[in-house]
Amino acid sequence: MKKDLISIQDLEAKVIADIIDLTDEIKSNKAKYADALKGRSIGLIFQKPSNRTRVSFEIGMVQLGGHAIYLGPNEIAMGKRESTKDVAAVLSRYLDGIVARTYKHEDVKELAKYAVVPVINGLSDRAHPCQALGDIFTIKEKFGGFKGITLSYIGDGNNVLSSLMCASAKVGLDMKVATPKGYEPSKELIAIAKGFAKVSGSKLDFSNDPKWTAKGANIIYTDVWVSMGQEKETKAREKAFKNFQVNDSLMKLANKKCLVMHCLPAHRGQEITDSVIDSKNSIIYDQAENRMHVQKAILLMLLK
């Protein structure tokens, strides 16, 4: 049966561990995998803009000997020019896999339902699994493991946090989260992630206090206050998030060697200051690079 990557919740902890191991192997043996997906093709259906996801999937596929075709919002207009079902069925006749970046999470699920080939979620309004897997790999690379490490996320309870907290809970990484009131992840997802944390033995704590969350952190992670598709909420969000900026005074509360992560794109001067994002402890570009290595592992596991 074909396998998809829609949400972190669908992955067993063992599969996440296997992806991390394969990523490590691919990253250090690039030449060995140069023909691994020779003659294979993927399509990238993107309803929203992208730098990292699009480029890292395209180049990752090329580095595996395969080919990628970008299908932007005006190309196939999934759900407008023709139904998602027809898009899925037709593209399955040409391609070996599909990466989709959609507004609605339900759309990527529908695409996966009707596609005969694997579908990878390249970000929806509810999840960003490739980001979370890249981030978990990056954290393992920096710390050598997860035990006793605290990842503190300060910001919006959005797609990036949703996937990251599930991934952290699955691998046994402790996480503290601060969101403004009303911007928490859904209660259902928190319960699911806490269930994973119970199994792995990790801690997962939520608050509305960025200072409490920053205290003792080994890593501070943030993301934009206004995600793609939420532009109309900009004013209200800027007001709600004004005390959630990751700046020098917040960083002082963290562990001395605390690393800084951001999935990017960043709104510098808003959710994070230049002084923090450009500091020597910032690992944002390693994170961005690792997206490509982890996605090569995902492609190999799903398409081989």
Among residues 99 and 197, whose Cβ is nearest to ligand CP? 99
Non-local CB neighbours of 226 within 8 Å, separated by 6+ positions: 233, 234, 237, 238, 267
* Residue from the set 47, 158, 162, 245 that interacts with ligand NVA by CB under 6 A: 158
Among residues 228 and 301, whose Cβ is nearest to ligand NVA? 228
Spell out, one character per residue from 223 to 262, where the chain touches ligand NVA: x when CB under 6 A holds, - when not. Answer: xx--xx----------------------------------
CA 193 – CA 197 distance, rounded (Å)? 6
Active site residue 101: yes
* Residue from the set 5, 99, 151, 160 that interacts with ligand NVA by CB under 6 A: 160
CA 219 – CA 251 distance, rounded (Å)? 10
Active site residue 9: no
- Shortest reach from residue 129's CB to ligand NVA, in Å: 12
Q: Is 55 in the site for ligand NVA (CB under 6 A)?
A: no
- From ligand CP, ligand NVA, none, interface partner of 51 (C-beta below 5 to 8 A by class): ligand CP
Among residues 78 and 132, whose Cβ is nearest to ligand NVA? 132
CA 109 – CA 121 distance, rounded (Å)? 9
Token pair 């001067």 is at which residue?
Answer: 269
90-129 in b/e form (b: 16+ CB < 10 A) is ebbeebbbbbbbbeebebbbbbbebbebbbbbbbbbbbbb
Q: Which stretch binds ligand CP (CB under 6 A): 85-93, 214-222, 261-269, 273-281?
A: 261-269
Non-local CB neighbours of 73 within 8 Å, separated by 6+ positions: 46, 47, 48
Q: Is 263 in the site for ligand CP (CB under 6 A)?
A: yes
Active site residue 47: no
Instruction: For residue 59, give both structure tokens.
Output: 């180049």
* Residue from the set 159, 162, 163, 222 that interacts with ligand NVA by CB under 6 A: 159
Catalytic residue among 40, 52, 54, 101: 101
- Shortest reach from residue 262's CB to ligand CP, in Å: 9
Among residues 40 and 54, whose Cβ is nearest to ligand NVA? 54
CA 158 – CA 105 distance, rounded (Å)? 12
Q: Is 53 in the site for ligand CP (CB under 6 A)?
A: yes
In 42-186, which residue ranges form alpha helices assigned H by DSSP?
Answer: 52-63, 84-94, 105-114, 129-143, 159-171
Among residues 53 and 84, whose Cβ is nearest to ligand CP? 53
Q: From residue 260, give the alpha-carbon distance in Å to each of 177, 225, 273.
A: 15, 17, 11
Nearest partner of 91 among 58, 65, 117, judged by Cα? 117
Spell out, one character per residue from 5 to 44, where the chain touches ligand CP: x when CB under 6 A holds, - when not. Answer: ----------------------------------------
CB-based contact 297:22 (threshold 8 Å)? yes
> What is the contact surface with ligand NVA in residues (CB under 6 A)?
123, 158-160, 223-224, 227-228, 263
> What is the contact surface with ligand CP in residues (CB under 6 A)?
50-53, 123, 131, 263-265
